[in-house]
Structure 1
Amino acid sequence: MRHTTCHPNALRIARFVSTATLLSLAPGALHGQGSASELVGLWEAKLRFGPDVRGPLTIERAASAWRAEIAGVSTAARILGDTITFTLPDGRGAFRGLLAPERGRGRGRIVGHWIQATTVANGSRYASPVVLTRAGSAQRWRGNIDPLADEFTMYLRVDPNADGSLRAFLKNPERNIGRFTRVAALERQGDVVHLLAAPTGGTKGEVLAEAVLREGVLSIPLRGGTYDFRHVEASAASDFYPRSHPGAGAAYAYRVPPPLDDGWPVATPEEVGMSRAALETLVRAIIDMSIDSLSSLEIHGVLIARHGKLVLEEYFHGEHRDKPHDTRSAAKSVTATLLGAAIQAGVPLSARSPVYQVMNGGRFPADLEPRKRALTLEHLLTMSSGLDCDDGDPKSPGSEDAVEEQTEEPDWWKLTLGLKMIREPGERAVYCSVNPHLAGGVLQRAAGRPLPELFHALIAEPLVIRRYWMNLTPTGDAFMGGGVRFLPRDFMKLGQLMMNGGTWGGRRVVSAEWAKRATSPLTTLGSQKYGYLWWVMEYPYRGRTLQAFYAGGNGGQVVMGIPELDLVVALYGGNYSDPVMFRTQRQLVPDYVLPAIVGW
C-alpha cells in the first residue's frame, strides 16, 4: 500500500546512494591483521553541510538605493512596488519580501521568505519565513534568517554470528539510507573494512562500500562525503535508541506539555477524559522498542490533543519540539487546506474551477481536448484527474520520480498540463503527486501571489506557525506535492483546524463546508477512502466503528483526527520507504491511543 503514506522522493535515494557514488578510500598504509571483533557494537557519525548563511539580516535604504547584509555579505537589493528582492553571489541564497504597512508607522515591517541554497541531504531548496522590523531608523529593518539545517546522521550496528562472521545494518534517521544501501555484513582485512550486501544465489554479497579503520575511527564513504564513525560505548547515550539507552521505559512518568506562545492550550489527561496510566503505557512501549534491525519501528514523536488541548507531547531518537521534521506526503493536506483558506479569503476559485482555463489566464487554450476542458480543481484534490500520472508506475511520464528527474522542462506545472489524458476526469483515482502540485499552480495563478506568501498570510499567521520550510521546484515555485518541514506541534494544528470545522483560536480559516468535505470519503485509492488530499479510515471501537481522517506521509508521518472522540493524534517517524511505517496508524492508534479514552 505504497500510496497511503509513502512519498516517492524517498525512492530516489537508491539512485543517489548507488554503488557509483560509494567511492573507495585507499588505505594508504600496510594492512595489519586486526580483529573483526573490534567492529562489534554500535557506531555513529554525522556530517554537517551547512548552510553557513544564517542569522541576522539587515535591509537598509540609503537615498534611492537599497542594500542587504547577511553573514558578512553586502549586496544590492531591488524594489518593485512593495516587493523587495536580492540574491547572494554563487547561489548562496536569495530573499523576496513585501513592505508591509504598520498602523501609524507607514511601512513598518518587511515580511518575506529566505530561499536557501540547494541542500546536500536531499537536493532541494527551501523557503523559510523572515519578518524584519524597524531597527533604530525609519530606513533600516532587521530580522533573522533561519534556514533548514543540512546534515546527515548515520548509525552502523554490528553483531557477531555464531561462526565469527559479522552481520550489520545501516540506520539513517533523516532519509533511511539503509533501505537502499542494504548493508548486511562486514569483512575486515587489516585496516580495510568491506560493507557487504546480503549474499544472493549462494554467492557472497557485493561490496557496497570500502571503509578504513584507523585509531578507532571507521571512515566510510556514503552519501554526501566520508563519514567518520566512532564506536559508542555500551554505557554511553546515543540517539540510536528511543531514549538514549535501551530499556529506559520503566523510568518514564507522564508530564504535561508546556504551555508556549504557539496557540496550543494544554491539559492533563484527567481534564480531557483520558487515562494517565494508558498514556504512560504508550510512551513506555515506544521507549522500550528494540532497535535490532533495519526495519525496527522508529518513532520520532507522538502528540495527542483532546477537546482542542494538547495533552501528550513526547519525542524520541533525539528529536524535539524545536527541531523541524519532514512531513513527506502528509504535506499534500497542506495544499487542500491552503486552497480552502484562499477561497475563504476571496480568491476567485471553487472546487469546480476549470484547471486549464485558470492556468491559461482565464481562457481555455485553443483546440484543447474535451477531457482537459472538463478537468476541475476538485479532480486534482481527489487524485482523479485522468492525466497520465501514477506514482506507483515507474513507466508513467507524470510520476513524481519522472518529473523530478527529467531536466528538459523546469516548469513542472507546464509539464503536468502537457501530459496526456488517459481516462475521463473523475473516472478513477490514481495516486500522483503532480495532481496536488498542479492544484497549487491553479491557486498561485488565480491569486497572483507566490504560494509561500499565500501560505504565510492564510495559514501560518492565523495558526501561529512561525517556522516552516517549503521545498521548491527548479523554477522557485513551492512544490505542493509534499515535503514541507514543520515543527511537530505546528503541523498537528492542521488536524485540529479540520476538527474545529475550519477555525483556530476562534478565527475562521477555511469554511465549515470545506473542512467537512475535505475530510470526507469522496473517492477510493487502492483499498482506502480519500477526500481532498486527506485519507479516511475506520477503527473498530467498543462495539461500533469510528471514522478518522488523516494526513499521511512516508516514514510514518501521520496527523489524524477522530471527530467522534474529539481527538487529534500526531505521529512522526523515520521508517522511510519501509512498510513497518504503517504500524503507527494500524497498531499504535487502536492498541494504545483509543484505549486511553475513559470519559468525555
Structure 2
Amino acid sequence: MTGKTAFESRYGFPRNEVLLSNWRENPFNRWSFQNLGELVPTARILATPDAIEAPMRDFDGLLGEKVSIASAPETVAEFLARSSTDALTVMKGGKVIGDWFAPHMDFGARHIIFSISKSVTAVIAGILEGEGAFDPEAPVTHYIPEAAGSAYGDASCRHVLDMSVSLDFEEAYLDPESAFARYRRATLWNPGGGTESLREFILTLQRLAEPHGETFRYRSPNSDLLGLLLERASGQRFTDLMREKLWLPLGAVSEASIGVDMEGTARTAGGISVTPRDLARLGEMMRQGGTANGRRVVPEAWVRDTAVTGGSSEAWQRGSMVPLFPQGRYRNKWYQTGFANGAYCGIGIHGQWLYVDPKTEVVIAKMSSQPEPVDDPLDIEIVAFFEALSRIV
C-alpha cells in the first residue's frame, strides 16, 4: 500500500481526479483556480521585465482581531477560513499591510479572478477611450458590423459596458442543459467544446422586447463582446492590449494569463489569472485616480465616472443585485456600493473580490475557492468583513 503523494497531501485529492467536467467544483477548485492553463488553453500576458516582487508581509496580530460579521464575533482568520479564502492582500495608503495564504496556495502564485476580468477589460476600454481609439457611445455595429442580426444590432457600447443590454440569456451556472452551458462549451471551459467559437456563439444571442438601457442585467457574454470591440477598435489582440496599455504601465510584477477559445479569442468576461499583489496594484491604481508609480494609466475623468458619478440608479434598482448594494450602481463593469465611504469593487464568482475604500485608503484583494459560484448571503457578509477590516488595518 502506497502513501499519499505530495500533491494529495496538500490538496486532499490526487491530481488525476481534476477534470474539465469538475474543475470548478469543491474541492478540486482549490487547485484548478491556480492552474487554469493545465485545463483550458490560455495566453500569456508578460509583466515588467526583471521585476522582482517584494517579500511576503505577514499580518502579524491582525488575524486574531475580532470582527462582527454574522450573529457572533469571529476572528479575521476564522472568517477567512469560513469564506474559503485562498489569498488575501491588503494595501493601505499605497503600501502592502499584509498577505495571507491558505495552506494550498503559495505566495506569488496566480489565481483566476473570474468576473473581475470584466473590470480589468473595462479599464482597457477607458484607456482606449482616452486615446480617442474607442467611443463608448458608438453603436456596437460600428466596430462589429456582423452583430447586426443579434441582440447587439441596436445596442451601444455603453449598454455593453454598463450591462444594460436587453439580452435574452440567463447566467444559469449549474444547469447543464442551458444556453449558459453552451456558452461555456464555446469558451472550452466545459467538455464538448470546439465546434462553435465564442464569437460565433455571442452573435447568435437575441434580445428581449424591453429597450436597451433600462435594466441592469448581469450577462457575461456582454463582457466577452467588449473584448472583441476593443480588438476591432484598436487593431490589436487583447493580450497585446492588456500588456501594452495596462500591465506594463501599472508596474505589474508577475505574468498574467487569460483563457482563449478555439480561435484564440480571449475570455475577457472571466478568464484572467493574476497574483493577489498585482490585483491589489490594479485597485490602488483606481484609488489613485488612474495613476500608478507617478504615471497616468487611465484618465482621471474615467475613474471618477466609473467609481463615483456614472451609472444609472434606476437601471440598478430594476436588476437582481439590489440586496447586495441597496443604493448601488454599476458603471463600466465596476460596482459602486452606494456606501457613505464611497467604496467600489470588482466581483467574481466563487469569491473573487477587489474592494477599494477611498475613505480609509484601503484596497483589498481576496481570492477564494468557494464551493458555490454564487452565494448571496455570504457575499453580504464578505462586504461587511471588508468594511470592518478597512477600519482596523
TM-score, length-scaled by structure 2: 0.75
Change (3 A) 1:567 1:435: same
| Partner Cα distance (1:409, 1:572) in 2 | 32
Find the partner of 1:586 among 383, 389, 393. Answer: 383
Are positions 1:559 and 2:354 aligned together? Answer: yes
1:464 aligns with 2:259: no
Residues 554, 576 of structure 1: 8 Å contact kept: no
Alpha carbons of structure 1 residues 572 and 43: separation in structure 2 relative to 1, 3 Å: closer
Give the SS at the match of 2:226.
helix
CA separation of 1:507 and 1:131: change in aligned 2, threshold 3 A:
closer
Query: Is this contact kept in 2: 1:399–1:434, CA < 8 A?
Result: no
Read off the aligned partner of 1:386 and give its amino acid letter. Answer: S
Deviation at 1:519, TM superposition (A): 2.2
Work out whether 1:595 is the aligned partner of 2:391: yes
Secondary structure of 2:213's counterpart equals coil
Q: 1:416 & 1:429 partners in 2: Cα distance? A: 19
Cα distance in 2 between the residues matched to 1:564 and 1:131: 30
Range that drifts further, 418-427 or 477-486? 418-427
2:250 aligned with 1:334 = no
Give the secondary-structure state (helix, strand or coil) at the position aligned to 2:119: helix
Which structure 2 residues correspond to residues 478-489 of structure 1 after superposition, within 5 A?
Answer: 478-489=266-277
1:434 deviates by: 0.4
2:163 is equivalent to residue 383 of structure 1: yes
Partner of 1:452: 239
Q: Secondary structure at the match of 2:268?
A: coil
Distance 1:372-1:286 versus aligned 2 partners, 3 A rule? closer
Call closer, same or farther: CA 1:393–1:560 in 2, change over 3 Å. Answer: closer
Q: List aligned pairs for 1:100-499, cutoff 5 A.
A: 123-129=39-45, 261-262=52-53, 280-281=64-65, 285-288=75-78, 296-346=82-132, 348-360=133-145, 372-392=152-172, 400-405=180-185, 410-422=196-208, 423-465=210-252, 466-499=254-287
**Equivalent position amino acid for 1:311 in 2:** I
| Count of residue correspondences | 340
Structure 2 equivalent of residue 158 of structure 1: none
Q: CA deviation at 1:538?
A: 4.3
Work out the CA distance in 1 between the residues paired with 2:301 and 2:176.
Answer: 35
Name the larger-Rg structure.
1
Amino acid at match of 1:548: A
Q: Which has the higher helix share?
A: 2
- Are positions 1:532 and 2:369 aligned together? no
User: Closer, same or farther in 2 for the Cα pair 1:478/1:584, shift >3 Å?
Assistant: farther
Alignment pair present for 1:548 and 2:348: no
Say which structure is richer in strand.
Answer: 1
- Verify the 8 A CA contact 2:360 2:391 in the aligned structure 1: no
Change (3 A) 1:372 1:319: closer
> In the aligned structure 1, how far is the partner of 2:110 from the partner of 2:194?
32
Q: 1:445 to 1:321 in 2, by over 3 A?
A: same
Kindly state the Cα deviation for residue 583 of structure 1 after the two structures are TM-superposed: 5.8
> Is the CA contact 1:303–1:313 (under 8 Å) kept in the aligned structure 2?
yes
For 1:356, the aligned partner's letter is T
Partner of 1:565, secondary structure, is coil
Amino acid at match of 2:164: S
Residues 290-325 of structure 1 deviation map (CA, whole Å, 9 limit, x = unaligned)? 97xxxx432122221122221122222332321111
| Partner Cα distance (2:141, 2:178) in 1 | 17
- Are the aligned partners of 1:390 and 1:399 in contact in 2 as well (CA < 8 Å)? yes
Shift of 1:562: 1.2
SS at match of 1:498: helix
Q: 2:306 maps to which residue?
A: 518
Q: Quick one: structure 1 residues 399 and 503, their matched pair in 2 at CA, closer, same or farther if it must change by over 3 Å?
A: farther
Quick one: which amino acid aligns to residue 329 of structure 1? S
Look up the match of 2:21.
none
Match of 1:568 in 2: 363
Separation in structure 2 between the aligned mates of residue 399 and residue 48 of structure 1, nearest angstrom: 29
TM-aligned CA deviation for residue 132 of structure 1: 12
RMSD of aligned alpha carbons? 3.8
> What CA distance in whole angstroms lies between the structure 2 residues aligned with 1:124 and 1:267?
32
- For residues 288 and 145 of structure 2, what CA distance do their matches in structure 1 show? 36
Q: Is the 8 A contact 1:411 1:475 kept in 2?
A: yes
Q: Give the structure, 1 or 2, with the largest relative contact order (CA under 8 Å, sep 6 or more).
A: 2
SS of the equivalent of 2:166 reads coil
In the aligned structure 2, how far is the partner of 1:123 from the partner of 1:519?
35
Query: Which structure 1 segments of 5+ residues have no match?
Result: 1-41, 51-118, 134-142, 144-259, 270-275, 540-544
With normalisation by structure 1, the TM-score equals 0.50
Q: What is the Cα deviation at residue 405 of structure 1?
A: 2.8
Residue by residue, what CA displacement relative to the aligned partner does 1:85-141 show, whole Å, maximum 9, x if unpaired? xxxxxxxxxxxxxxxxxxxxxxxxxxxxxxxxxx898842111146999xxxxxxxx
Which stretches of structure 1, 4 residues or longer, exceed 3 Å deviation after superposition? Answer: 119-123, 129-133, 264-269, 276-280, 286-291, 371-374, 392-400, 406-409
User: Is the 1:389–1:398 Cα contact (8 Å) retained in structure 2?
Assistant: no
Cα pair 1:286 1:299 within 8 Å, conserved: no
Name the CA shift for 1:395/1:287 in 2 (closer, same or farther; >3 Å).
closer
Question: What is the deviation of 1:282?
Answer: 6.2
Inter-partner Cα distance in structure 1 for 2:170 and 2:96: 37
What's the CA shift for 1:359? 1.0
